[in-house]
Amino acid sequence: MRFTQAPEFRGRCSSRLTAALILLLISVAVDAQVKTGSSTSSGQPMTETQVERGEVVSVNGNDLVVKMEDGSLRHFADIPESARVTVDGQELGIHDLKPGMKLQRTITTTTVPQTITTVQTVTGTVWQVSPPNYVTLRLEDNSTQRFKIPQGQKFTINGQQTDAFGLRQGMKVSATKIVEVPETVVEQQKKVTGTMPPPPTPPASDRPILIVVER
């Protein structure tokens, strides 16, 4: 069986007897006989894409002003020199941008749910029992350590249910503590592309062109 409710322990007791034992370490220091391992499992990632479009209004040093699709002006201050914009297939920096350029920023956010599982195991022999709350184990290095027994914990010995009062000195104990902690990992990628402003419109053919003749 497997328990995921921290900080409970689960395990087996035997000296030709078998018991499921759940323990809680009350010692702050981690004994050499208490072994710890952890693993991480990931759930189904979720991806969200956001697209922003605008037109370059002005570039002043590393500051950029863009007119967004909704007509609002957005000021981007202190843009790093390493920032790049792909414009008509070319990689441009902040100083290469010109008024009239059309920009598009695509923001891709990936959210991955994860569960970090930490497993602690301890092996020893029942040295002293103070039912219903505590049990002291003699560990493999011959040191002793005290553990707290959760309220209402039952033990199975030879197929029969008992409580902490059924534990006896000399029983071999193997206990496991399992703690599962959920967390969310968020990763965001930003990509900016753009197009050059259209060339100026040539004058209509039916409009006169002013020519200055020097004498």
Judge whether residue 66 has pLDDT over 90. Answer: yes
Average model confidence (pLDDT) across the chain: 77
- Indicate where the chain has its CATH 2.40.50.140 domain(s): 47-111+191-195
Q: What pLDDT score does 45 carry?
A: 93
The three-point CA angle 154-156-158 to 5° equals: 155
The residues pairing with 137 across neighbouring beta strands, listed in sequence order, are 126, 145
> Whole-angstrom Cα distance, residue 210 to residue 215?
16
Q: What is the pLDDT of residues 3-41, one digit of tens each?
A: 333 334 444 444 333 333 444 333 323 344 667 888 999
Whether 83 has a pLDDT exceeding 80, the answer reads: yes
Residue 6 CA to its chain's centroid (Å): 20
Distance CA 143, CA 176 (A): 19
Question: Roughly how many angstroms between the first and final C-alpha of the chain, as a whole number?
Answer: 105
Q: Is beta strand 85-87 parallel, antiparallel or unpaired with respect to 172-195? A: parallel
The amino acid sitting at 157 is I
pLDDT bracket for residue 208 (50, 70, 90): low
Q: What is the mean pLDDT of residues 60-76?
A: 93
C-alpha angle 155-130-170 in degrees, rounded to nearest 5: 65
Cα angle vertex 40, ends 38, 42, to 5°? 170
CATH topology of domain 47-111+191-195: OB fold (Dihydrolipoamide Acetyltransferase, E2P) (2.40.50)
Q: How confident is the model at residue 180 (pLDDT cuts 50, 70, 90)?
A: confident
CB 101 within 8 A of CB 135: no
Q: How confident is the model at residue 210 (pLDDT cuts 50, 70, 90)?
A: low
Contacts of 154 (CB under 8 A, 6+ apart): 20, 161, 162, 163
Going by C-alpha positions, the residue among 179, 180, 162 that lies closest to residue 171 is: 162
Q: Mean per-residue pLDDT for 168-195?
A: 84
Residue 35 confidence (pLDDT): 77
User: Counting beta carbons within 10 angstroms of the beta carbon of residue 147, is it exposed (0 to 12), middle (13 to 18) or buried (19 or more)?
Assistant: buried
Do 3 and 178 touch, CB atoms closer than 8 A? Answer: yes
Residue 186 is predicted with a pLDDT of 93
User: Which tens digit of pLDDT belongs to each residue from 94-126?
Assistant: 999 999 999 999 999 999 999 999 887 777 788
Tens digit of pLDDT for each residue in 122-168? 777 889 988 888 888 888 888 888 888 777 767 655 666 777 888 88
Helix (H) or strand (E) holding 176: strand 172-195
The pTM for the full model equals 0.52
What confidence score (pLDDT) does residue 172 get?
78
- CB-based contact 57:73 (threshold 8 Å): yes
Segment 162-183 mean pLDDT:
80
